[in-house]
Amino acid sequence: MSKITGNVWTFGAHIDTDIIIAARYLNSSEPSHLAKYIMEDKDPDFVNKMAKGDIIVAGENFGCGSSREHAPIALKAAGIAAIIAPTFARIFYRNAFNMGLPIFELPESLEIKEGENISIDLDAGTIINNTTNKTYKFDAIPPFMQELIAAGGLINFAKEEIKKEQNG
Protein backbone atom coordinates (compact mmCIF):
# COMPACT_ATOMS: atom_id res chain seq x y z
CA MET A 1 0.00 0.00 0.00
CA SER A 2 1.95 2.99 -1.20
CA LYS A 3 -0.97 5.31 -1.94
CA ILE A 4 -4.17 6.12 -0.05
CA THR A 5 -6.90 8.30 -1.56
CA GLY A 6 -10.09 9.30 0.18
CA ASN A 7 -12.52 11.99 1.25
CA VAL A 8 -11.80 14.01 4.38
CA TRP A 9 -13.70 14.25 7.66
CA THR A 10 -12.34 16.85 10.08
CA PHE A 11 -12.21 16.86 13.85
CA GLY A 12 -10.58 19.37 16.17
CA ALA A 13 -7.70 19.13 18.59
CA HIS A 14 -7.41 16.81 21.59
CA ILE A 15 -9.79 14.11 20.31
CA ASP A 16 -9.45 11.56 23.06
CA THR A 17 -10.00 7.82 22.92
CA ASP A 18 -13.36 8.18 24.70
CA ILE A 19 -14.56 10.34 21.79
CA ILE A 20 -13.17 7.88 19.24
CA ILE A 21 -14.99 4.97 20.93
CA ALA A 22 -16.98 5.64 24.10
CA ALA A 23 -16.25 3.44 27.12
CA ARG A 24 -19.90 2.28 27.19
CA TYR A 25 -19.20 0.18 24.07
CA LEU A 26 -16.14 -1.57 25.42
CA ASN A 27 -18.09 -4.58 26.66
CA SER A 28 -16.76 -6.20 23.48
CA SER A 29 -13.44 -5.97 21.71
CA GLU A 30 -14.91 -7.33 18.47
CA PRO A 31 -13.82 -4.89 15.74
CA SER A 32 -17.14 -5.02 13.85
CA HIS A 33 -19.02 -4.12 17.05
CA LEU A 34 -16.70 -1.23 17.89
CA ALA A 35 -16.82 0.09 14.30
CA LYS A 36 -20.51 0.92 14.63
CA TYR A 37 -19.87 3.57 17.28
CA ILE A 38 -16.79 5.56 16.27
CA MET A 39 -16.97 9.29 16.96
CA GLU A 40 -20.57 8.89 18.15
CA ASP A 41 -20.25 11.45 20.96
CA LYS A 42 -18.80 14.03 18.54
CA ASP A 43 -21.12 13.27 15.60
CA PRO A 44 -23.88 10.70 16.32
CA ASP A 45 -24.42 10.05 12.61
CA PHE A 46 -20.74 9.84 11.61
CA VAL A 47 -20.68 6.11 10.82
CA ASN A 48 -23.67 6.53 8.51
CA LYS A 49 -22.12 9.48 6.66
CA MET A 50 -18.57 8.20 6.21
CA ALA A 51 -17.52 5.65 3.60
CA LYS A 52 -14.87 2.96 3.64
CA GLY A 53 -11.59 4.56 2.57
CA ASP A 54 -12.35 7.99 4.06
CA ILE A 55 -9.62 9.86 5.92
CA ILE A 56 -9.82 11.72 9.23
CA VAL A 57 -7.92 15.00 9.48
CA ALA A 58 -7.68 16.43 12.98
CA GLY A 59 -5.95 18.94 15.20
CA GLU A 60 -3.09 18.31 17.59
CA ASN A 61 -2.88 15.52 20.15
CA PHE A 62 -5.25 13.10 18.40
CA GLY A 63 -5.87 9.96 20.44
CA CYS A 64 -5.08 11.39 23.86
CA GLY A 65 -6.65 9.82 26.93
CA SER A 66 -6.54 6.16 27.77
CA SER A 67 -4.08 3.65 26.37
CA ARG A 68 -6.77 1.27 25.10
CA GLU A 69 -6.19 -0.28 21.70
CA HIS A 70 -9.92 -0.20 21.00
CA ALA A 71 -9.67 3.27 19.43
CA PRO A 72 -7.45 2.41 16.45
CA ILE A 73 -9.12 -1.00 16.13
CA ALA A 74 -12.56 0.66 15.86
CA LEU A 75 -11.38 3.28 13.34
CA LYS A 76 -9.73 0.68 11.12
CA ALA A 77 -12.70 -1.69 11.33
CA ALA A 78 -15.06 1.14 10.35
CA GLY A 79 -13.04 1.64 7.18
CA ILE A 80 -11.05 4.76 8.02
CA ALA A 81 -8.05 4.52 5.67
CA ALA A 82 -5.74 6.96 7.49
CA ILE A 83 -5.56 9.77 10.03
CA ILE A 84 -3.64 13.01 9.61
CA ALA A 85 -2.92 15.39 12.48
CA PRO A 86 -0.10 17.71 13.58
CA THR A 87 0.60 15.43 16.55
CA PHE A 88 -0.72 12.22 18.08
CA ALA A 89 -0.78 11.06 21.65
CA ARG A 90 2.26 8.81 22.08
CA ILE A 91 0.39 5.61 23.01
CA PHE A 92 -2.22 6.10 20.26
CA TYR A 93 0.63 6.56 17.76
CA ARG A 94 2.14 3.21 18.68
CA ASN A 95 -1.23 1.43 18.96
CA ALA A 96 -2.27 2.68 15.52
CA PHE A 97 0.81 1.16 13.88
CA ASN A 98 0.42 -2.04 15.91
CA MET A 99 -3.12 -2.34 14.53
CA GLY A 100 -2.04 -1.46 10.97
CA LEU A 101 -3.83 1.92 10.89
CA PRO A 102 -1.76 4.46 8.92
CA ILE A 103 -1.31 7.82 10.63
CA PHE A 104 0.61 10.84 9.42
CA GLU A 105 1.95 13.86 11.26
CA LEU A 106 1.38 17.05 9.29
CA PRO A 107 1.70 20.46 10.99
CA GLU A 108 -0.55 22.06 8.32
CA SER A 109 -3.32 19.47 8.71
CA LEU A 110 -5.95 22.09 9.57
CA GLU A 111 -5.53 23.63 6.10
CA ILE A 112 -7.29 20.52 4.74
CA LYS A 113 -11.08 20.95 4.92
CA GLU A 114 -13.91 18.48 5.37
CA GLY A 115 -15.22 17.11 2.10
CA GLU A 116 -11.97 17.62 0.22
CA ASN A 117 -10.36 14.64 -1.49
CA ILE A 118 -6.72 13.86 -0.74
CA SER A 119 -4.08 11.35 -1.76
CA ILE A 120 -1.31 10.20 0.55
CA ASP A 121 1.79 8.83 -1.15
CA LEU A 122 3.86 6.91 1.38
CA ASP A 123 6.80 6.46 -0.98
CA ALA A 124 7.02 10.15 -1.91
CA GLY A 125 6.15 11.38 1.59
CA THR A 126 3.46 13.67 0.22
CA ILE A 127 -0.18 14.46 0.79
CA ILE A 128 -1.87 15.98 -2.23
CA ASN A 129 -5.12 17.83 -1.78
CA ASN A 130 -6.86 16.81 -5.00
CA THR A 131 -9.52 19.49 -4.41
CA THR A 132 -7.14 22.45 -4.07
CA ASN A 133 -4.08 20.98 -5.84
CA LYS A 134 -1.88 21.81 -2.84
CA THR A 135 0.90 19.39 -1.93
CA TYR A 136 2.18 18.85 1.61
CA LYS A 137 5.32 17.01 2.68
CA PHE A 138 5.36 14.81 5.78
CA ASP A 139 8.23 13.16 7.61
CA ALA A 140 8.82 9.68 6.28
CA ILE A 141 7.40 6.82 8.26
CA PRO A 142 10.24 4.56 9.44
CA PRO A 143 10.61 1.43 7.28
CA PHE A 144 9.62 -0.96 10.08
CA MET A 145 6.42 1.01 10.75
CA GLN A 146 5.65 0.84 7.01
CA GLU A 147 6.08 -2.93 7.22
CA LEU A 148 3.56 -3.04 10.08
CA ILE A 149 1.03 -1.09 8.01
CA ALA A 150 1.60 -3.27 4.94
CA ALA A 151 1.12 -6.43 7.02
CA GLY A 152 -2.08 -5.12 8.61
CA GLY A 153 -0.58 -4.72 12.07
CA LEU A 154 1.94 -6.24 14.46
CA ILE A 155 0.19 -9.61 14.92
CA ASN A 156 -0.02 -10.21 11.16
CA PHE A 157 3.59 -9.07 10.77
CA ALA A 158 4.72 -11.55 13.44
CA LYS A 159 2.75 -14.38 11.79
CA GLU A 160 4.42 -13.61 8.45
CA GLU A 161 7.86 -13.63 10.08
CA ILE A 162 7.17 -17.02 11.70
CA LYS A 163 6.07 -18.44 8.32
CA LYS A 164 9.28 -17.14 6.72
CA GLU A 165 11.37 -18.81 9.42
CA GLN A 166 9.50 -22.10 9.10
CA ASN A 167 9.85 -22.13 5.31
CA GLY A 168 13.56 -21.48 5.53
Considering the chain, what percentage of its residues have pLDDT values greater than 90? 76
The answer to which of 26-40, 46-60, 143-157 has the lowest mean pLDDT is 143-157
For the segment 29-40, the average pLDDT, to the nearest whole number, is 95
Residue type (1 letter), 105: E
Q: 168 pLDDT exceeds 80?
A: no
* Helix spans in 21-124 (H): 31-35, 46-49, 70-78, 90-99
Give the pLDDT score at 144.
Answer: 86
Q: Is 63 left (phi over 0), alpha (psi -120 to 50) or beta?
A: left
The answer to which of 18-27, 53-62, 128-137, 145-154 has the lowest mean pLDDT is 145-154
Domain range for residue 20?
Answer: 3-166
* Dist CA 141 CA 125 (whole Å): 8
Considering the chain, what percentage of its residues have pLDDT values greater than 70? 99
Per-residue confidence band for 1, with pLDDT thresholds at 50, 70 and 90 = low
DSSP tag of 83:
E
pLDDT tens-digit profile of 79-131? 999 999 999 999 999 999 999 999 999 999 999 999 999 999 988 899 999 99
Domain count within the chain: 1
| Residue 158's CATH number | 3.20.19.10
Report pTM: 0.92
